[in-house]
């Protein structure tokens, strides 16, 4: 098999030739057809200190076909087309083949291309868990409530808008900072769009809406914490996926009985939680919603074939901070 890894935080990807592994236990051996890149790829790459003796293979978004199954598997068979985000504590998907625990793998949607499919797993899992596991949104009782999504045009925001609208049945207010990103959010179903580079409290309240029952922060928690604390409705919930560099006073949420919770997509596979299989189930649900046309892929650009040059191009685009939706590469 061939994979692409980094031995320092400033070099281009190195080509690695190695023996294709064997699937055992709960693992599937997947021949990869396409991958997508995410900000977490850059974070892991830049976290490398010094020079590694063995290059680190990154990447957590892929689709492909099952070519071997472990002796404890039951969810898939050889020949099945699948999509998944994987486990950050294991080798990534910048490769021709990958071992992945079947409990975090879903059946691939049948209506999308490989690149359109590869764009979906990590962000769909993140958004779904944030909305329905962390914020505990239930359309049966919460339909019509307001959610503010900070950073709606990025990868997670692009699917979070759709899920909040179609599955959560919420009124969606999101932020964007450019004409192109505003149009992108509108196409995905956002009801209102405000600019996160301006006063969010003033802009939100100018809309004449009740304060948001839910806030999902996908961009710079430090910058927006005070604003979120002011805007959140009494008994509301805030969820963020972006780590902080500064300490924040949770007491400012006390009088509202408001809550703050984190979403980290890799928690279940990292800690082998008892409900790890929920990622398999939610990916299957997302695949069904994509095939029904309820959701649409968030792919915005296919960079080209997976190789060191195109990996660098994709990383440069991500680092620019102007990417809408997702970027993919083919095998």
Q: What is the CATH number of the domain that holds 255?
A: 3.40.50.720
Kindly state the average pLDDT of the residues 164-181.
Answer: 96
pLDDT, one tens digit per residue, over 58-70 is 999 999 999 999 9
pTM here is 0.96
CATH code at position 61 = 3.90.180.10
Q: Domain for residue 81, yes or no?
A: yes
CB 239 within 8 Å of CB 262: yes
Domain count for the chain, please give it.
2
Q: Is the pLDDT of residue 113 over 90?
A: yes
Binning pLDDT at 50, 70 and 90, where does residue 10 land?
Answer: confident
Q: Is residue 268 part of a domain?
A: no
Per-residue pLDDT tens over the stretch 239-295:
999 999 999 999 999 999 999 999 999 999 999 999 999 999 999 999 999 999 999
- Residue 79 has what pLDDT? 98
239 located within any domain: yes
Q: Which of 194, 197, 117 is nearest to 159 (CA)?
A: 117
Q: 92 and 165 share a domain?
A: no
Please report which confidence band the pLDDT of residue 11 belongs to, taking 50, 70 and 90 as the band edges: confident
Question: Please, what is the average pLDDT of the chain?
Answer: 96
Instruction: Write out pLDDT tens, residues 24-50.
Output: 999 999 999 999 999 999 999 999 988
* Residues 93 and 30 reside in one and the same domain: yes
DSSP string, 10-35: SSPPEEEE-PPP---TTEEEEEEEEE
Does 169 score more than 90 pLDDT? yes
Which residue, 242, 262, 282, sits at the end of a domain?
262
Residues contacting residue 172 through CB under 8 Å, at least 6 positions apart: 147, 149, 161, 164, 165, 189, 190, 191, 192
What is the predicted pLDDT for the residue at 9? 85
Residues 171 and 149 placed together within one structural domain of the fold: yes
Q: Are residues 199 and 174 part of one domain?
A: yes
Domain termination site, one of 230, 262, 294: 262
Question: Do residues 174 and 297 both lie within one domain?
Answer: no
Question: Which residue range forms the structural domain that includes residue 105?
Answer: 2-120+273-330
């Amino acid at each position: 098999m061939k994979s692409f890894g980094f031995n320092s935080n400033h070099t281009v990807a190195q080509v690695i030739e190695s023996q294709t592994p064997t699937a055992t236990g709960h693992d599937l051996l997947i021949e990869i057809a396409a991958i997508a890149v995410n900000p977490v790829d850059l974070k892991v790459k830049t976290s490398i200190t010094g020079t590694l003796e063995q290059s680190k293979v990154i990447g957590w978004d892929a689709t492909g076909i099952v070519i071997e199954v472990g002796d404890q598997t039951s969810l898939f068979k050889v020949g099945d087309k699948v999509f998944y985000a994987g486990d950050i504590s294991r080798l990534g998907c910048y490769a021709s083949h990958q071992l992945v625990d079947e409990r975090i793998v879903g059946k691939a949607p049948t209506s999308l291309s490989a690149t359109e499919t590869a764009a979906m797993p990590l962000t769909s899992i993140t958004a779904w868990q944030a909305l329905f596991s962390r914020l505990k949104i239930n359309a049966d009782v919460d339909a019509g409530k307001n959610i503010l999504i900070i950073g709606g045009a990025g990868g997670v925001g692009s699917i979070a808008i759709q899920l909040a609208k179609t599955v959560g049945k919420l009124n969606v207010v999101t932020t964007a900072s450019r004409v192109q990103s505003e149009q992108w959010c509108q196409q995905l179903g956002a009801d209102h769009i405000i600019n996160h580079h301006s006063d969010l409290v003033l802009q939100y309240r100018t809309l004449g809406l009740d304060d948001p029952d839910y806030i999902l922060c996908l961009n710079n928690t430090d910058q927006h914490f005070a604003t979120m604390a002011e805007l959140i409705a009494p008994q509301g919930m805030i969820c963020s996926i972006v780590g902080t560099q500064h300490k924040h006073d949770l007491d400012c949420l006390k009088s509202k009985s408001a809550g703050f919770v984190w979403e980290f997509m890799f928690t279940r596979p990292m800690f082998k939680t008892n409900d790890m299989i929920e990622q398999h189930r939610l990916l299957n649900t997302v695949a069904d919603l994509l095939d029904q046309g309820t959701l649409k892929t968030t792919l915005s650009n296919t960079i080209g074939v997976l190789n060191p040059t195109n990996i660098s191009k994709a990383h440069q685009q991500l680092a620019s901070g102007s990417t809408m939706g997702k970027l993919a590469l083919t095998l």
